[in-house]
Chains A and B, each alone.
Chain A
Amino acid sequence: MEDLFANEIVRAENLKKTFTLSRKQQRLEKTALNRKIAVNGLSFSANRGEIYGLLGPNGAGKTTTLRMLSTLIKPDEGDAYIMGHSVRKEPQKVRDCVGFLTGELKLETFFTPDYLFDFFGAMHGVEKEVLAERKRELFARFGIDAFAQVKVGDLSTGMKQKVSLVVSIVHDPDVVIFDEPTNGLDVLTAKVVTDFLLELRRMGKSILLSTHIFSLVEKLCDRVGIIIDGKMAEEGPLAAVCGTTSLEEKFFELYHGLKGEIV
């Protein structure tokens, strides 16, 4: 099993997820159907030491896919394997080797970054000495050390995002899954985050990120999957997907092909 996944760190096979819509959601979505297929037969793979980008518009199914990969929710059909562990059958093992960052997961504002780092380190079973060393490194790397004893509620948005980021990778995971990692950040903090993702790649980590920002994919990603309406419209190495066009042109070409002209 180990050999099979030696290079292929993440493999999604025909993932499908359907949600039940409330009446209010039906009105908002302008549909009479009470079910919505968020992800529809999605398959892709990401390799060790690569950054894989899931690109798509809002509501395409990017976040739902990442939530399935991080075991927060279960696929209705299909399965995904992280480091060879099934997200359906071995969620505990998957959580041990994944660091997940999304706006949906919040930190308690009452606690300090110092306390939260130690707490989540304990949640992942990190040894105390290792944890202390890792805290020193990451806090210095992100400039959190000066704010280590300030309650999260009193930190700026950028600093909160940095704290969330370091907490999500407290256990030094092999796979890092980031949902819209630069959303809502100022240019300086966004730069710190993107530089860190590149650094993680250099360290041999595998990174999966979702975004709707073309430039971010072009700057960071080795491979890209373009999701439209829960389906994988195109997937592969960035250069192969784009060909001679830009990513933006390629995306709209696919989008128009599937959905018609934007009104």
Chain B
Amino acid sequence: MKLVALMKKEFHRFFHDPRLIVTILLPGIVIFLLYTVLGNIIHTEESRELKVYLSGNSAVVGLLEQQINESGDKVEWLPLENEEEARAAVKEGEATAILTLTENFDSFGEGARAGIVYDSGSENGSYFYGLVSSVLISVGMRFPIDVQTVNDSADIGREILTALLPFLVVTFVFSACMSVTLESVAGEKERGTLATILATSVKRSHIALGKIIPLSCISAIGAASSFLGVVLSLPKLMGLDATVLVGYSFVSYLLLFLLILSFVPLIVSAIGVVSTLSRSVKEASAYTSVLMILVMLVSIVSLVVTQMGEWVIAVPVLNAVTAMGRILGGELPVWQSLLSVGANLLYTVVLVWAIAKMLSSEKVMFGK
């Protein structure tokens, strides 16, 4: 009952203060509006005329054509006779891409492969690649596409999108957790209201849980707001079709959801530890900024280093980011995701225990 009362207090504090609600939801709305406006400025809405060299036939081609036509764009299918010439045409911008599908592609059986060659520096090329990926995922393809780009310069297509999203998720989750946790833990300590609770017979572990559970829920709302803001506007910003993000399977979304869900309490607890150790919100903000830089650095590592060993599961933040990256890249790393979720929850338990210990520490709570 005491734990429930503690949790209810945190929820009450948040949901009865319109300013806090705005603070937590505003970033998502602002991100969506900003990215959408920027996307509209950068990418004009002229209809695209795509020229694609095609080898092989499949029902997928019909689906692609249908989607392209529904978007108000046009596609011209050219037979792939000379691959060298076709590659040169893609590189010169005279054609959009080369799409190769094996004869038994529709069976999704052994040997069924899909390949795409496109110019990653071209807006139409990236658009077509994103479209192919999402259509193939939506029809249930379980193997990666053979991707080749004719341009080695900046890869601004789906690969960056899927690599960038986990990093953005981490950043937004951290921001959401920071805004609520600093105020609730360091703020209460600074104002002396936490000491009033410590003078009662409630267990310190209940006080710690009574903070971390509701703050994680509230942070998750903020993180979801920011995440949706990014997801809904990023394709627009990058000139990609929105279908690039709706083509994932239910399991992919479930794993993404679980990873984010495990990541939020971990960050809240980490900021909770820093806040409990700090004497004021100002001091806690300074330390949390350092923590944020560390978390962002770890996230960036996953952008740069693509091949990492199994040990990555044991590294908080990095485990979730790499798993999210693989999911968004079209893979289904079920075990990596579940083990990462388990590891994050384990770290959260350890951090909550540490907070409870600190709440019992006279030096931490009442040291001048």
Contacts and interface: CB of A to CB of B under 8 A. Distances in A.
A122 B5 contact: yes
A54 to B, nearest CB: 18
B69 interface: no
B196 interface: yes
Contacts of A125: 1-2, 201
Interface string B72-104: 000000000000000000000000000000000
A172 B276 CA distance: 30
Contacts of A108: 13, 188, 191, 193
Interface residues of B, number: 26
Interface residues of A, number: 29
Nearest to A105: B196
A25 B368 contact: yes
Contacts, number: 67
A104 B195 contact: yes
B195 A95 contact: no
A123 B2 contact: yes
Nearest to A167: B196
B364 to A, nearest CB: 12
Contacts of A252: none
A115 interface: yes
Interface string B328-368: 00000000000000000000000000000000001000101
Contacts of B1: 122, 125
A96 interface: yes
A74 B197 contact: no
Interface in B38-58: none
A106 interface: yes
A167 B199 CA distance: 11
Contacts of A73: 362, 366
B12 interface: yes
Interface string B191-213: 11101111111110000000000
Contact of A119 (B5, B17, B191): B5
Interface string B304-316: 0000000000000
Contacts of A104: 192, 195
Nearest to B196: A105
Interface in A111-142: 111, 115, 119-120, 122-125
11 contacts: A19-B368, A72-B195, A92-B201, A92-B203, A95-B200, A105-B196, A105-B199, A108-B13, A123-B2, A123-B6, A167-B196
Interface of A: 19, 22, 25, 67, 70-74, 92-93, 95-96, 100, 104-108, 110-111, 115, 119-120, 122-125, 167
Interface of B: 1-2, 4-6, 9, 12-13, 16-17, 188, 191-193, 195-203, 362, 366, 368
